[in-house]
């Protein structure tokens, strides 16, 4: 397949365009969202393979929280203006920064609430360079045509390896012995220290992380059982159990790998600790609200739980420093006082390999969305994609219309684009929001301007973009 190109208007069309655009001879139409404004422009890159919806040097990208260099490079190579900050920002500062950006990349600490997104007049897409998206108001973003992408699988191996390490450290009480040696105390003991071979690992949530962990654990001699809300094919000799109660009563080591949902909040609480075997161990590398930490403190003090490892917490600091205290979580000091407890600062996916892979995956999703309108992998919009336009299709344009999912919209849209040859078209809906993409041929810049104006006038419109 040959590469795509931008439509270049004839010289006699440039004067007509001048009244609409300030500098670029290649204008692209884009309404950032129903709370945003106006038009932007595009300059084609030499030998461009994909459509360019803006002048690439006019695309403003804000990357927060030390997004990996791989992602920064991909976005910079597109010619975008990329601003990079190592930390998150307080909400008021974030609002000031986000007002004129088209793309924002964040990790887990930045909170994109409705209040923040309301001020993002030009924003079309959010990249979460992490697994979770709970830090973004997904509903508000969808209702205003802002796509959200994440990287749900790239750090699976890193998290699985951390859990394996924690299982061994807990079984041998290595954390306590190391702390004692650092304080000058020699305490050679074997009481309560175990090999992991022959023990049972219970995995709650058998997704990508849970499945990888299952394979690693079996190779080290652990028997694996798992509980999930859906029936899944077990890997190796792992066995799915029907209830979480059955898992808790059988497992020596229990590890949580579930998303943050209303039904998973406090999923491991006093009742569940009572159901566990005496002397068992708990590991949570999923989300901080999954485990009732005061209940864990009580279970460890009573001796019911022999050890635990936590990588996530209900409230986490926005940056590095001496913040893990009672001001952040009221039980902080009580938790830190426990023996055989591993506390890590949300580093499950913090390896060079994972962050590099996340940077590539999310940055590529962002550029595909900005340049082509493809929503494959979006967590809050319908997944729609069309094959790329090529050099053999010089006078084509791609129409993207994000709209309210109400009766009669497609008829009105097709009445507008129906005067042109529609080469391909796809539409899908997700809840109250629908996403339409169509490639039309034999158009010039006047046609495109008229199409844009007509689509923008429809009452169902959330966002209109025309790429060419």
Hey, which residues are catalytic here? 287, 316, 346
Q: Which residues contact 229 (CB under 8 A, 6 or more apart)?
A: none
List helix spans (H) across 393-444.
409-417
Distance from C-alpha of 273 to C-alpha of 58, rounded to nearest angstrom: 55
Q: What is the dihedral of CA 64, 67, 72, 73, to 10 degrees?
A: 170
- Asked whether 428 and 434 are in contact (CB, 8 A), the reply is yes
Q: Which residues contact 77 (CB under 8 A, 6 or more apart)?
A: none
Of the candidates 426, 375, 366, 367, which has an alpha carbon nearest to the alpha carbon of residue 399? 426
Of the candidates 400, 407, 405, which has an alpha carbon nearest to the alpha carbon of residue 455? 400
- Asked whether 349 and 355 are in contact (CB, 8 A), the reply is yes
The beta strands (E) that lie in 45-107 are given as 60-63, 81-84, 103-106
123: tokens are 């924003």
Q: Is 366 helix (H, G, I), strand (E, B) or coil?
A: helix
Residue with tokens 């809050």: 380
Could you write out the DSSP letters of every residue in 169-210?
HHHHTHHHHHHHHHTT------TT----TT-EEEEE--SHHH
Q: Which residues contact 96 (CB under 8 A, 6 or more apart)?
A: none
Distance from C-alpha of 51 to C-alpha of 394, rounded to nearest angstrom: 11
- Judging by DSSP bridges, how do beta strands 200-204 and 253-256 pair with one another? parallel
464: tokens are 């209109």
- Asked whether 50 and 372 are in contact (CB, 8 A), the reply is yes
Q: 40 — phi, psi (to 5°)? A: -130, 180
342: tokens are 């591993």
29: tokens are 């139409």
Q: Is 127 helix (H, G, I), strand (E, B) or coil?
A: strand
Distance from C-alpha of 132 to C-alpha of 135, rounded to nearest angstrom: 8
């Amino acid at each position: 397949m040959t590469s795509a190109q931008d439509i270049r208007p004839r010289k006699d069309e440039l004067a007509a365009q001048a009244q609409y655009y300030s500098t670029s001879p290649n204008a692209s139409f884009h309404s950032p969202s129903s709370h945003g404004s106006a038009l932007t422009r595009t300059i084609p890159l030499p030998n461009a393979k994909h459509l360019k919806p803006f002048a690439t040097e006019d695309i403003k990208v804000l990357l927060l929280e030390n997004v990996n260099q791989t992602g920064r490079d991909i976005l910079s190579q597109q010619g975008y203006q990329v601003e990079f900050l190592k930390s998150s920002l307080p909400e008021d500062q974030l609002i000031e920064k986000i007002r004129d950006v088209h793309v924002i990349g964040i990790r887990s600490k930045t909170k994109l609430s409705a209040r923040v997104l309301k001020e993002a007049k030009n924003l079309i897409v959010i990249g979460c360079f992490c697994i979770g998206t709970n830090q973004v108001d997904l509903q508000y973003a969808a209702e205003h045509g802002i796509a959200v992408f994440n990287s749900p699988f790239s750090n699976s191996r890193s998290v699985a390896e951390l859990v394996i390490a924690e299982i061994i450290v807990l079984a041998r009480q290595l954390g306590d012995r190391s702390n004692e040696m650092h304080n000058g105390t020699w305490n050679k003991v074997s009481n309560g220290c175990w090999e992991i071979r022959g023990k049972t690992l219970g995995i709650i949530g058998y997704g990508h992380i849970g499945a990888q962990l299952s394979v690693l654990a079996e190779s080290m001699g652990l028997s694996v059982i798992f509980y999930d809300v859906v029936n899944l094919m077990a890997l190796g000799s792992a066995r799915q159990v029907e209830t979480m109660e059955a898992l808790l009563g059988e497992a020596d080591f229990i590890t949580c790998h579930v998303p943050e949902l209303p039904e998973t909040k406090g999923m491991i609480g006093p009742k569940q600790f009572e159901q566990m075997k005496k002397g068992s161990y708990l590991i949570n590398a999923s989300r901080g609200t999954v485990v009732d930490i005061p209940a864990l403190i009580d279970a460890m003090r009573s001796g019911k739980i022999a050890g635990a490892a936590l990588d996530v917490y209900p409230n986490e600091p926005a940056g590095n420093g001496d913040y893990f205290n009672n001001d952040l979580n009221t039980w902080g000091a009580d938790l830190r006082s426990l023996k055989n407890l591993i506390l890590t600062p949300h580093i499950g996916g913090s390896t060079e390999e994972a962050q590099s892979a996340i940077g590539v995956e999310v940055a590529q999703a962002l550029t595909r969305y900005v340049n082509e309108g493809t929503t494959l992998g979006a967590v809050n919009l319908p997944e729609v994609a069309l094959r790329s336009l090529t050099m053999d299709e010089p006078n084509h344009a791609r129409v993207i219309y994000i709209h309210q999912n109400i009766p009669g919209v497609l008829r009105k849209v097709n009445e507008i684009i129906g005067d042109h040859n529609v080469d391909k078209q796809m539409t899908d809906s997700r809840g109250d929001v629908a996403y339409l993409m169509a490639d039309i041929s034999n158009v010039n810049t006047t046609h495109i301007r008229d199409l844009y104006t007509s689509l923008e006038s429809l009452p169902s419109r959330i966002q209109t973009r025309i790429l060419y």
